[in-house]
Amino acid sequence: MNESTIPTTPRREFWRGVRDEAPILLGVAPFGLIFGALAIAAHIEIPVAQAMSSIIFAGASQFIAAQMIGTGTSGLVILLVVFVVNLRHALYSASVAPHVRHLAPGWKFLLAYLLTDEAYAVTITHYNQEGDPAKKHWYFLGAGLTLWTVWQVSTAIGLFVGAQLPQDWPLGFVLPLTFIALVVPALKDKASIVAALTAALVSMLTFGFFFKTGLLVAAFLGILTGLLVEGKPK
């Protein structure tokens, strides 16, 4: 029997989310370790560093924040930078919003907390596939909680043992590879191909922009060209 024809249950959806998130963890765990070690190097106290992983819960911005704390940057500047670096999450929020619309407020508040790059990537792919849309939030929860747990644990290990990772073992490469695996099958029409190519090229041109603002510009131009190629609906 084809997997998609089996009637789905919340439990099955949850574990599918956990399973689909698993390969990404290979790339995420080393970053958690490195963040922990980075926080120690910046003389951030262990409880604060762990709280950064659970309260901010956004890898790239935590890296930058830890480095800025280490160099004695003022709190307001750090807040501004964290805000800008994490602005792309507003795009993710808009993208999943129609899919979680039917849920109770409690679910919305919980899933928003778990809306990281990595959980978003697998979850939006799942939302765009066939299946029972009324149960897919369990998949979201499974993927999100899996990533959350690994981020907390790897941060803790990094804080206590420091980063003694083999430098020549390029596990960070798992992240772009996973995103490739999720994006390529979604390129089904000319409009999405143009959107992807535009965003990729612009993100290269704007690579030097400060704190991921280049990614925002690239994403907006990609979405815009996608809309233009698609044209008005008849």
Partner 1 sequence: MSLWLVTLLAGLLTYGTRLSFILLLDRIKVPDWFRRGLRFVPVAVLSGIILPALATYNATLNLSLRNPQLYAGALAVLVAWRTKNVLLTILAGMGALLAIQLLLGLF
Interface region with partner 1, contact rule CB under 8 A, candidates 6-14, 100-108, 135-143, 154-162: 100-108
Binding mask 161-190 for partner 1 (x = CB under 8 A): -------x-x--xxxxxxxxxxxxxxx---
d(CA 137, CA 146): 14
Binding test (CB under 8 A) with partner 1, winner from 46, 67, 70, 125 = 125
How far CA 95 is from CA of 20, 39, 70, 89, 112, in Å, comes to 19, 32, 35, 10, 12
Shortest distance (Å) from residue 25 CB to partner 1 = 11
Judged by CB under 8 A, the chain residues 13 through 52 that form the site for partner 1 are: 20, 23, 26, 44-45, 48, 51-52
Residue 138 as a binder of partner 1 (CB under 8 A): the answer is: no
Judged by CB under 8 A, the chain residues 202 through 231 that form the site for partner 1 are: 202-204, 207, 215, 218-220, 222-224, 226-227, 230
Residue 198 as a binder of partner 1 (CB under 8 A): the answer is: yes
Interface region with partner 1, contact rule CB under 8 A, candidates 8-16, 83-91, 132-140, 149-157: 83-91
The smaller minimum CB distance to partner 1, of residues 45 and 132, is found at 45
Backbone phi, then psi, for 198, in 5-degree steps?
Answer: -60, -50
Q: Tell me which residue of 106, 152, 135, 114 sits closest to 7, measured CA to CA.
A: 135
d(CA 126, CA 154): 26
CB atoms within 10 A of CB 115: 19
| Nearest-5° Cα angle at 19, 2 to 167 | 135
Which one-letter amino acid corresponds to residue 232? K
Residue 93 as a binder of partner 1 (CB under 8 A): the answer is: yes
| Nearest-5° Cα angle at 76, 74 to 82 | 105
Q: Are 138 and 16 in contact (CB under 8 A)?
A: no
Binding test (CB under 8 A) with partner 1, winner from 6, 113, 132, 161 = 113
Shortest distance (Å) from residue 66 CB to partner 1 = 10
Shortest distance (Å) from residue 8 CB to partner 1 = 19
The smaller minimum CB distance to partner 1, of residues 154 and 178, is found at 178
Q: Tell me which residue of 121, 124, 122, 119 sits closest to 145, measured CA to CA.
A: 119
How far CA 125 is from CA of 8, 28, 78, 197, in Å, comes to 17, 19, 33, 19
The smaller minimum CB distance to partner 1, of residues 7 and 233, is found at 233
Shortest distance (Å) from residue 135 CB to partner 1 = 18
Where in the chain does DSSP place strands (E)? none
The smaller minimum CB distance to partner 1, of residues 7 and 216, is found at 216
